[in-house]
Structure 1
């Protein structure tokens, strides 16, 4: 959903005005002009008047001292919290009425029974919404939920009034005002029921998490408020909640600890920066009714921290001197993190300091160990004013770096990075499969702490990059010539990818004879990352509006990209550009994959000795053998994306050259040839009899023939898709006279590779017979079986039956039948091959007959 900024909406969206509770607001009754005098029973009249006034009068208030009693404990923040036993009162100043308050809720301590996949852990965010307090009628205080989906900034226009009229903000909660402060500057409300209830304002706004865990209703007798802490910029509510287990048969109830942070957003939002799609940033946005006088367009602001010089340093900053920011970015390390990994996590944060120097700031970001309870009893890692790296003792192999931002401007308020314990296992396996051929340290089940520490440091830096606003840059590694990845001096100086935000894990291209050290194998914060931080965090006070700044920054980006192609950003969401892939390296995925496979061939014979322990079983051997298959499959997948691919280069008006370009004919043909050679030609090097002899029969999926069929099936299913074929077909039609890799070229190359023995009149072994059946079966499925042939292809809304693609595939199958008959007639092949060829002919015939019956 798009979100909007709020500064100009504060006054417009407030639907109630402040009123007082004084008697002056009551209107005197007047006797109607021609009324008659009537005698009534006085007692009855007083009783009726009392009942009527009770139903119409404002909620009764008490003197301040009767509500906020002397025996209460009070904590002063941007509003004051009074507590006595289990009763809580909020004293809310009138000067924050209408101010935006971001409520962020998290699980502080979780129950193991409630977990579902990667959710249900301490630190999980379960709510994030903006609210405002406002005075309502009848001595009530409203809490209004604020949406930022649409915006019109000019209050003098009819459009402003229309947008406001159609964006009434929901009243989420109503509180009776219990008292007014002695100086009339604040109101007091009883917040006890609000804090104790199971509401979606403070707690599970994300109800899906509760549903997935089977959590039912709150059990009030086993739920309570632990504390409410008040600070100048945030209020922290910590609750212990018990929920029924619903339909979960393994538990009767769940007890969890939840933390809600009520963060007072700045009265004046940070000056936003408008997105440039050529620099990868997370963003917030809204439908802007002012930006286009004859339409509606989205306005999108990037997410970034508010880094500003101290007032006394502004002139130094303008002169280009490095200055310390007024408020640096600080990440606290979860106290439960294993101590030996803390320095590496901290270094992963501190490594970003050099990038911020490009934006004019020194010491802009750093990590600290969180204070202990003894050092600061009010400090909490769940506090939304603190950013932290949270350690999770989980079997999940992952790490995440989300952030919370002001929806009005994109200002990042805080971030909790989640570090799952088992991410170390996937780091181990990646590094072994990609670098064990060149780094002896990677040839064992348990890495030394220094090596694992370096791996943790790299992932820490990557996740911190996300919290700074940076998206994945899957295209970065494609700017590096593959052969440079084997050049020791070059790659150690420049790194194997220009961005740590890429998924270019390690330099698998490097060969043993290259003698490349860790500096040339590991990712690092590099050219793109520093440039992206410079773009996002440099200040330009000379530009008064985001629109003025956007024009200036657009030229900077254009000039920078022209001067240095290593700054190119390739989105992870790009579906058809082979340059923007995860886990790949270099500007030629085929050549890079060739080098990678050479290293896998070196690793496989040693795998048993590296992963087997004397007193253990072969589970780790099985795990790493499967991991080697997966790495091989990645290399195949990288090449496959070139087939039918299209280069997409984001540009702005005035930049020369096309945005969309077809992957050249020679590159696509080379990619299909690589798949033929490396996968469709049986990769017998993967068949390691020593390892297979140690694998239990119940683990049939790892047996060579079965696993090979799976790899080949995946590749063929990926190549022969209606989407890919439709894209190739229309690209061919749109480029007459140009050398385009066509659908016919694709099937011709696949036929020659997959049916190579038949073209040579030779017998076919069992592996290749299975491959040929998979290939023919996929064609039959796509032409005759797979859904309605009139189903829409997600490429411009074309129907595949409205093209000639079906005819081409049918012709391919007829050619295959002719080839099979020719070989059968020659009598040059063995019995199993003859049976196989007859089966291919029969399968295709059955498909055509099924089509004829469907037509009838």
Structure 2
């Protein structure tokens, strides 16, 4: 007999919920968690004396009775000891609730979730235990099972007096009646905000300004809708008091009222079979400590988060033969009724596009996007019902979208999703497409796209966010598997797409040139071969495997079979060393791709005033899009710099040949330095065309300085330098730190050889570079003190001092001479510092 023992991470806010109640607003009865003297305990009454004829009763997961201002839950014994998910959401919120620096505070946002069980206690008590699945032992035949069981116990979060019992005359099953009034009307952490209060800066609960709206119950869930009022913390500012900084309160707390929806959902009696994660395929995971997996220790296990897709019983034989079958229960994602009607078809297309990927896993019609039913079509349907997944339209200035989901922690099964679609996402995708595609696509050359183009952009983002709800992580490495020249091959790129994964942040094909005549089909991301493969790996059933452990060798062989084809490669978003794993890049060579991208940026810049024109308006759009252009150039710089001191990571199991880590070849690192010399450190004057600056008022010195300073900061930092030193120990022929400084000296100080006057842009660049070198040789600099880099930086300063002294006698330009003398003085000071 196998069981699972769960170790709990205790939450004081849950375990001692009574202490969170405000004075004058404490719930009565044992739901407070406080001991009640024996004399105060009331024995259960006859059912008819508690649930009187005045009761308004609805039947569902719980039978809910409303009697005047009282709410009673009737909980059948069949529900006891079943795992139940509680999800609390904002149903309505005011603008003052929102955190302007984050995407929180909108209708549909999840505030809190927990897994609980109801169980009977002594003396006519009913308990709620809050469960944790962070640590497990599942084999009851082993000694470890009992050890874990004896050492851990799930906390009793709430306790209730049973007010009455009822026995069903047909099933003979008993049910317990408890009074939920104080819990619903109070501020219980389990059912409402929980730890999310801090995120919104709210504190004291105001019971006199709070009330119950409704309790509804359905077959597998019960919904509680309340209005809650809290105090909003206004925060502190700092002021100087006698020369000492001290906080000063920014006014009195203000009330914040929200409408909350709490869904109580019965989880499946038999959890879905889990599937262990593999770092070679990108899935969100639920992690836990397994006390059984390692006989001589413990092991951290990760299971992927995915929806439960199973063939109908009658189709199982067909499925095993490889025939496409429909799942018992497809994934249905409803569109928020408040969504502007003209965008609904594109959002639905973005959802339904994933059906082609599910066919790889053996399912047809596996996912469906559809409009939410009207009240006339289904009066019981609610956007807040945890059984329903939805794309929620949010009237927000946030320029983004996100695809979160609620997961059964026992198995990784995705229970539902509420995709967040913020209104201002259209501004974001407009600016992306303009700056990356306007050189190629005439439809992108304006500040308001036509509905067809905007609809296509919405469809792409919808597909990406749905991918997250299906469990997929970003695959930042995918676009690096496409050869750069293929991105200009019209037939190839229109047939295959510019990246194998829509889950990459590859955006649009900025490499394509106007003369390539590539259509939108070759410009937009789409669901690609990696996405189909990832869905196959995560969702294809292995009928002969009885548990997750038996699946491991099969899943491993699936990955190994695809390993020779780079298009199936997964590159995560957290690797700081591998230049193939980057956001916003495309192609297998950042230098070539960025050169093409800059050609297009120059074309757009030449027409920017014309293409951003809006009648009867000023030049705000011109300034915004100009900022987008130099931000895009900054991204190209980041893509290139990551090659310097980089190393590749190819995760493997022992069955796969070859090393996991290899250094970026020295030749590629030198190509990266050449790019920086040509496109960044040689002043990109095209970026500061006065035909634009005359209308925006932007400073050309600040624009160029920010770009070049950003490149230097990325290049000269302790992390990169220490990686390069480590690489030299592995491969002496690699691109070294000394090579880096020698090249920078040559590139940045070229006027010392040509004897040309040094422009203001170059003076600022040289000053910034010298400051970074001087900072390295100071003993207090963290991360490099005591390493070879100190000696290398000193050597670079000594060489530079000699070159400046040699050049000064022939300098005729006053500003150049004054600048060089200043730099020489800085060098002398830096070299005179003693450790």
Query: What TM-score, normalized by structure 1, do the two folds share?
Result: 0.90
Determine whether 1:757 maps to 2:751.
yes
The answer as to 2:821 corresponding to 1:821 is no
Q: Report if aligned partners of 2:360, 2:536 keep a CA contact under 8 Å in 1.
A: yes
Q: Verify: 1:192 aligned to 2:176, yes or no.
A: no
User: In structure 2, what is the equivalent of residue 47 of structure 1?
Assistant: none
CA contact (8 A) 1:109 1:121 kept: yes
Shift of 1:751: 1.0
1:373-384 → structure 2 map (5 Å cutoff): 373-384=375-386
Distance (Å, rounded) in 1 between the aligned partners of 2:535 and 2:596: 33
2:682 equivalent to 1:707 = no
Residue matched to 1:107:
90
Q: Does 1:617 align with 2:618?
A: yes
Cα deviation, residue 131, structure 1: 0.9
What count of residue pairs does the alignment treat as equivalent? 787
Cα drift, residue 12 of structure 1: 10
Question: How far apart, in 1, do the equivalents of 2:181 and 2:64 lie?
Answer: 11
- In structure 1, distance between residues paired with 2:274 and 2:119: 26
Equivalent in the alignment of 1:718: 714
**Alignment-derived partner of residue 3 in structure 2:** 8
Q: Output the CA distance in 2 between the equivalents of 1:801 and 1:395.
A: 46
Matches for 1:655-804 after TM superposition, within 5 Å = 655-696=656-697, 702-736=698-732, 739-784=733-778, 788-789=780-781, 791=782, 793=783, 800-804=784-788
Instruction: Give yes or no for contact 1:64–1:182 (8 Å, CA) kept in 2.
Output: no
CA apart distance, 1:114:
1.1
Secondary structure in structure 1 of the residue aligned to 2:713: helix
Partner of 1:519: 521
CA distance in 1, matches of 2:526, 2:201: 42
Q: Which residue of 2 aligns with 1:232?
A: 219
1:217-228 correspondence to structure 2 within 5 Å: 217-228=204-215
Change in CA separation of 1:85 and 1:373 when aligned onto 2, cut-off 3 Å: farther
Task: Quote the Cα distance in structure 1 between the aligned partners of 2:366 and 2:648.
Answer: 37
Q: Does residue 1:163 correspond to 2:159, yes or no?
A: no
Write out aligned runs for 1:321-340 (5 A).
321-340=323-342
> 1:172 pairs with 157, 162, 165, which one?
157
Residue number in structure 2 paired with 1:632: 633
Between 74-83 and 211-220, the greater mean CA deviation after superposition: 211-220
Secondary structure at the counterpart of residue 133 of structure 1: strand
Q: Which residue of structure 2 lines up, in the alignment, with residue 411 of structure 1? A: 413
What residue is the counterpart of 1:40 in the other structure?
none
Q: What is the CA–CA distance in structure 1 between the aligned matches of 2:541 and 2:578, rounded to whole Å?
A: 33
C-alpha root-mean-square deviation of aligned residues, in Å? 1.8
2:6, 2:132 within 8 Å by CA — same for their partners in 1? no
Deviations 1:587-611 (A, max 9, x none): 0010000000000110001111111
SS in 1 for 2:764: helix
Is the contact between residue 59 and residue 140 of structure 1 (CA under 8 Å) also seen in structure 2?
no
Shift of 1:58: 6.1
Q: Which moved more, 1:459-468 or 1:630-639?
A: 630-639
Q: Is the 8 A contact 1:445 1:611 kept in 2?
A: yes
How much has 1:214 moved relative to structure 2? 3.4
Higher CA-based Rg = 1
* Counterpart pick for 1:152 among 137, 149, 171: 137
Structure-2 separation of matches of 1:513 and 1:729: 44
2-structure distance, mates of 1:533, 1:614: 48
Partner Cα distance (1:287, 1:760) in 2: 64
Per-residue displacement from partner, 1:182-213 (whole Å, max 9, x unpaired)?
34511110001011111111110233xx3343
Contact 1:324 1:362 in 2 (8 A): yes
Give the Cα separation in 1 of the matches to 2:327 and 2:606.
54
CA contact (8 A) 2:6 2:135 kept: no
The answer (yes or no) to whether the contact 1:150–1:163 under 8 Å persists in 2 is no
TM-superposed CA distance for 1:56, in Å, is 6.9
List per-residue Cα deviations over 1:327-357 (Å, max 9, x = no partner): 0000010111111000000100010111111
What is the distance in 1 between the residues matched to 2:815 and 2:759? 9
The aligned runs of 1:320-719 (5 Å cut-off) are 320-562=322-564, 564-696=565-697, 702-719=698-715
For residue 543 of structure 1, report the CA deviation from its aligned partner.
Answer: 1.0
Hey, what's the Cα distance between the residues in 2 that align with 1:619 and 1:7? 66
Aligned to 2:816: 833
- The whole-number CA distance in structure 2 between the counterparts of 1:255 and 1:7 is 47
Matched residue, 2:241: none
Quick one: distance in 2 between partners of 1:232 and 1:679?
A: 64
C-alpha distance in 1, partners of 2:271/2:211? Answer: 35
Q: 1:166 to 1:779 in 2, by over 3 A?
A: farther
Change (3 A) 1:459 1:250: farther
Kept in 1: contact 2:89–2:112 (CA 8 A): yes
Distance in 2 (CA, whole Å) between partners of 1:54 and 1:62 is 19
Alpha carbons 1:229, 1:378 under 8 Å: kept = no
For each residue in 1:637-657, what CA deviation from the matched residue of structure 2 results, as whole angstroms up to 9, or x when unmatched?
Answer: 100000000100111111011
Task: Rate the CA distance shift 1:320–1:592 in 2: closer, same or farther, 3 A.
Answer: same
Shift of 1:322: 1.1
1:382: Cα distance to partner?
Answer: 1.2
- Mapped to 2, the partners of 1:63 and 1:847 lie a distance apart of 89
